[in-house]
Amino acid sequence: MKKSLKESLNSVRLSKHIYPTHYKLHLHPDLLSFTFTGKEIIKVIVEKDTNQVTIHSKNLDIETVKYKSGKKEQFANKITYDTENETVTFNFINKIKSGKGELSIIFSGVISDSLRGFYKSKYTVGGVDKYIATTQFEATDARRCFPCFDEPAHKAIFEVSLVTDENHTAISNTLPIKIEKHNAGYKIINFAPSPKMSTYLLAFIIGEFEFIEGRTKNGVLVRVSTTEGKKHQAKFALDVAIKSLEFFNEYFGIPYPLPNLDLVAIPDFESGAMENWGAVTFRETALLVDDEHSSISNKQWVALVIAHELAHQWFGNLVTMQWWTDLWLNEGFASYIEYLAIDKIFPHWKIWNQFMIADYNVALKLDGLTTSHPIEIKVNHPNEINEIFDKISYSKGSSIIRMLALYLSEDKFKKGLQYYLKKHSYKNTETFNLWEAFEKVSGKPVAQIMNSWTKQMGYPLVDINTTNQKTIISQEKFFSSRVCRKNNKKKYLWEVPISYGNDIVLLNKNKLEINIEVSNKINHYENSFIRVKYDPSILSKIKNDIINNQMPTIDRLGMIRDAFDLAEAGYIKTSEALEFSLAYKNETEYIVWNEIVSGINNISNTFLSDSNEEKYKKYALSMISPLARKIGFYKKDADRHDDVFLRSLIMTQSASYGDKRIIKQARQIFKNREVDKIDANIRSSIYTIIAKNGGTKEWNILKQMYLDNNIQEEKDRCVRALTQFKDEKIIIKTLDFIMENKEVRAQDVPHLLAMIWTNKVARDSTWKFIKNNWEIILKKYGEGGHFLSRLLSPLGNHTKPSDLKDAKKFFSKKTAPGAERTLLQAYEKIESNVAWLKDDKKDIKKWLNKNY
């Protein structure tokens, strides 16, 4: 009989009365048949007599199970699998008595294609296919490799030994302590015992690798490994890894506990990177930098990813969340600290500025939906667990940590962290443990403030109303959909530190009156995670400050972001936001332009095939083109770090709204590419412009460039350009190419499909294509994880009520495991788009007619 949902959710957790302390794990993978055999001895502590032991196991064949305690041993007489809960139960005739014991298990499994558990990755060298066997265990996939207590709180010591071909390298969390060579052509590698850690952090990677190495000041051996012929692309990563490790040693006040740190580039990899303790794995584009082919943007990405994963060596590995409900402690923190480290290592990058567009804005957008979720959220089943590796855990998590850090001061924040990490080393925590640490060092009511941000979803829209020396500051929840705002009945309240002038108040009620007339922008540097709505008199003063360049960059960004988003949400008219945007004509900062462009594009994407389109293009060009002409495609000596990004953004956008001169230049640069190599920093821009204005000929060229190139970063640029064509027939060719060509790695397919779907010309055909291919997609990507949610999020760009109906109908019959919330969010967005269109179509038209 099928269990009720509630029963199955409860039974997903293992019994508390038996837990592991030590695993001796021996694996023998076969890279020809792609299978493996294994045996393990798990030392356990039993706290209550029992006849049954249940642990995790998925897709494994268990041959025998023996339990030994003292001199007594017995074999399990029955082994039953529970596929729903991913567990296996061993039955013993004689009761197992409380106390210490050892479970010995012999098992076998398949080295899969699924990018999880123990899986294979394929690459070619000189036309010869080669394979790597590697692991990805987070969140709940160690159980696909060996039977285990696969919960983060079940920390244990792991002693791994692997049998490999004599010409293969094996990397695991620790260094080998003994290698036994056999004449038959294989070797047994025994690794040193790991620190006490969670199962999801274990890793082994087997294949033919080359590497470069270095050491930190403290003598930690750091190596970066790649497949054959790529180690020259590892230099930058090695440098950043050493510097990050040194930075964290000092910052956290606890030295990295292992003698080694390996960073390994894996050709097939589901996410960006994984923080396995001492053996961090990456997709190639997140680790490798090529002098000739890499853009600064990719380099920066590599640096951030490395800093992120190394931050986890403390925040996550040394101190781990008790259960996945507190996943954000891992991911939110690492997403914050990565910027801290990179800011110290590359101060001229001004990386915190980019935090505003990479995380803060993204979180504001997603968390304005009523289908968002609180940072701390109850999860049980693996599908639910995978679902919360999302923008809320990462981006909202890091944004509210930034808010707290700025509120407490840098010094108190660091002290609090050190206290927390020392106190909970090798143990598990919940969110309140962290607040406790900050309270201890700062004396401020941290838990009270922060609970309002982690235990409820959303964030406040703060309203500023000022008259006669008095200002009323009030708060209500921000709804990005006007439909949901109307329907909302719930009351929300946050504790918000708000800066104004040189002061800071804690807004902890709905309304607060202060005895001062506010006449400037509040929430300096966007410190608190809020949006602000000003009364018109303050707004016009702020607008002047922007025009006269008297406002810091991050505040300028905040103003335009809120203007556009308040319009989309119906708090102001879209024409007001457009009018406000005119204050930014002389803007020069990349991160601000990123917001302006995103606002302009969002309106264009929603109000798309409209009679206003030509005039809207005029408006967009009047904003972007003057700067594009000034910047040009060629780099200048005076360029600052992010001017390079500004160039790429502005040139692409300007061409995209039809700037003929720029399109012509791009064509010229593309045509000359063999004689005069295109600067890697503008390649993506050039390829995109070529695609947006190209036909079959250009499609074939870009496709061939994709096939011929061996650098993943360059390949990505080419195939991404294939998603940008404007001719529907060509787009269908791209869809087929991506789905059917074996050259396109499974790891990239969902991202690429999502990119085509985001191309507004291809919206309807992609949706149709996805529906038609749903069964194939489901088979490949339907095992939970992030692929489906990544793939399905552009559904929310649709603007027709009929599309909403169609999607709901489609997914009432089809499943989308791990993407259920993404679907609800997409529905909410479509509904919101429909209402926005209806309300503001005329308003925009009027404004455009008046001005253009």
Selection from Zn ion, ligand BES, none that 305 binds (CB < 5 to 8 A by kind) is ligand BES
Which of 393, 466 has the CB closer to Zn ion?
A: 393
Q: What's the min distance (Å) between Cβ of 199 and ligand BES? A: 13
Q: Does 396 bind ligand BES (CB under 6 A)?
A: no
Residue from 52, 271, 519, 605 binding ligand BES (CB under 6 A): 271
Q: What's the min distance (Å) between Cβ of 169 and ligand BES? A: 23
Lookup: tokens for 101: 């014991």
Identify the bridge partners of residue 50 per DSSP, sorted by sequence position: 96
Which of 301, 619 has the CB closer to ligand BES?
A: 301
The CA-based dihedral angle spanning residues 339, 345, 350, 354, taken in that order and rounded to the nearest 10 degrees: -30
Other Cβ atoms within 10 Å of 28 Cβ, number: 16
Which of 570, 784 has the CB closer to ligand BES?
A: 784
Indicate the residue type of 190.
Answer: N
Q: Assess contact for 155 and 19: CB atoms under 8 A.
A: no
Selection from Zn ion, ligand BES, none that 304 binds (CB < 5 to 8 A by kind) is ligand BES
Under DSSP, the state recorded for 66 is: E
Total length of the chain: 852
Residue from 143, 168, 230, 312 binding ligand BES (CB under 6 A): 312
Q: Assess contact for 230 and 292: CB atoms under 8 A.
A: no
For Zn ion, the binding residues (CB under 5 A) are 331, 334
Binding piece for ligand BES, criterion CB under 6 A, among 269-277, 437-445, 604-612, 756-764: 269-277
Q: For 717-722, which contacts have Cβ atoms below 8 Å and span 24 or more sequence positions? A: 717/683, 717/684, 717/687, 718/687, 719/744, 719/748, 719/752, 720/684, 720/687, 720/688, 720/752, 720/755, 721/684, 721/687, 721/688, 721/690, 721/691, 722/691
Indicate the residue whose CB is closest to Zn ion. Answer: 334
Q: Does 204 bind ligand BES (CB under 6 A)?
A: no
Selection from ligand BES, Zn ion, none that 589 binds (CB < 5 to 8 A by kind) is none
Residue from 110, 240, 304, 816 binding ligand BES (CB under 6 A): 304
Lookup: tokens for 204: 């082994």
Q: What's the min distance (Å) between Cβ of 170 and ligand BES? A: 22
Other Cβ atoms within 10 Å of 6 Cβ, number: 9
Identify the bridge partners of residue 187 per DSSP, sorted by sequence position: 164, 181
* Residues ≥6 apart with Cβ < 8 Å to 110: 34, 35, 36, 59
Which of 335, 654 has the CB closer to Zn ion?
A: 335
Q: How many helices and strands in the chain, by DSSP H and E?
A: 30, 28
List, in sequence order, every beta strand (DSSP E) within 251-380: 260-266, 273-274, 279-283, 319-321
Q: In what order do the strands lie in the sheet with 260-266?
A: 210-215, 221-226, 260-266, 279-283, 273-274
Q: Assess contact for 538 and 504: CB atoms under 8 A.
A: no
Residue from 92, 389, 619, 781 binding ligand BES (CB under 6 A): 389
Tell me the number of residues near ligand BES by CB under 6 A: 16
Lookup: tokens for 469: 């020396």
Binding piece for ligand BES, criterion CB under 6 A, among 216-224, 329-337, 495-503, 644-652: 329-337
Contact map string, positions 63 to 102, toward ligand BES, x by CB under 6 A: ----------------------------------------
> Phi and psi of 665, rounded to 5°?
-60, -45
Cis peptide, bond prior to residue 139, ω within 30 of zero: yes
Please state whether beta strands 61-69 and 427-429 pair in parallel, antiparallel, or not at all (unpaired).
Answer: unpaired
Q: How far is CA 713 from the centre of its chain?
A: 18
Binding piece for ligand BES, criterion CB under 6 A, among 273-281, 524-532, 587-595, 671-679: 273-281
Identify the bridge partners of residue 321 per DSSP, sorted by sequence position: 429
Q: How far apart are CA 722 and CA 702, in angstroms?
A: 7
Q: What's the min distance (Å) between Cβ of 238 and ligand BES? A: 18
Considering only CA atoms, give the Rg of the chain: 28
Residue pointed to by tokens 């250009």: 698
Q: What's the min distance (Å) between Cβ of 307 and ligand BES? A: 8
Residue from 331, 390, 716, 828 binding ligand BES (CB under 6 A): 331
Which of 289, 530 has the CB closer to ligand BES?
A: 289
Q: What's the min distance (Å) between Cβ of 340 and ligand BES? A: 13
Q: Does 305 bind ligand BES (CB under 6 A)?
A: yes
Which of 324, 616 has the CB closer to Zn ion?
A: 324
Which of 327, 538 has the CB closer to Zn ion?
A: 327
Selection from Zn ion, ligand BES, none that 271 binds (CB < 5 to 8 A by kind) is ligand BES
Q: What's the min distance (Å) between Cβ of 334 and ligand BES? A: 6
Q: What's the min distance (Å) between Cβ of 12 and ligand BES? A: 18
Binding piece for ligand BES, criterion CB under 6 A, among 5-13, 118-126, 268-276, 656-664: 268-276
Residue from 246, 284, 290, 309 binding ligand BES (CB under 6 A): 309
Q: How far apart are CA 582 and CA 161, in angstroms?
A: 65
Q: How far apart are CA 620 and CA 777, in angstroms?
A: 37
Which of 331, 367 has the CB closer to Zn ion?
A: 331
Q: Does 275 bind ligand BES (CB under 6 A)?
A: yes
DSSP of 744-800, one letter per residue? Answer: S-TTTHHHHHHHHHHSGGGHHHHHHHHHHTHHHHHHHH-SSSSHHHHHHGGGGG---
Residues of span 129-148 touching ligand BES by CB under 6 A? 138-139
Selection from Zn ion, ligand BES, none that 389 binds (CB < 5 to 8 A by kind) is ligand BES
Q: What's the min distance (Å) between Cβ of 282 and ligand BES? A: 9
Of 120, 281, 266, nearest in space to 201 by CA: 281
Residue pointed to by tokens 């994407």: 605
Selection from ligand BES, Zn ion, none that 138 binds (CB < 5 to 8 A by kind) is ligand BES
The CA-to-CA distance between both ends of the chain, in Å, stands at: 68
Residue pointed to by tokens 């053996």: 279
Question: How many Cα atoms are found within 13 Å in the side-chain-facing hemisphere of 636?
Answer: 12
Lookup: tokens for 784: 């939970």
Q: How far apart are CA 77 and CA 66, in angstroms?
A: 9
Residues of span 743-802 touching ligand BES by CB under 6 A? none
Q: What's the min distance (Å) between Cβ of 402 and ligand BES? A: 15
Selection from ligand BES, Zn ion, none that 803 binds (CB < 5 to 8 A by kind) is none
Q: What's the min distance (Å) between Cβ of 271 and ligand BES? A: 3
Q: What's the min distance (Å) between Cβ of 330 and Zn ion? A: 6
Residue from 79, 163, 224, 273 binding ligand BES (CB under 6 A): 273
> Phi and psi of 805, rounded to 5°?
-60, -45
Binding piece for ligand BES, criterion CB under 6 A, among 84-92, 270-278, 649-657, 682-690: 270-278
Q: Does 308 bind ligand BES (CB under 6 A)?
A: yes
Q: Does 264 bind ligand BES (CB under 6 A)?
A: no
Which of 394, 420 has the CB closer to ligand BES?
A: 394
* Residues ≥6 apart with Cβ < 8 Å to 285: 298, 301, 712, 713, 716
Which of 42, 139 has the CB closer to ligand BES?
A: 139
Active site residues: 309
**Residues found near ligand BES in the complex (CB under 6 A):** 138-139, 271-275, 304-305, 308-309, 312, 331, 334-335, 389
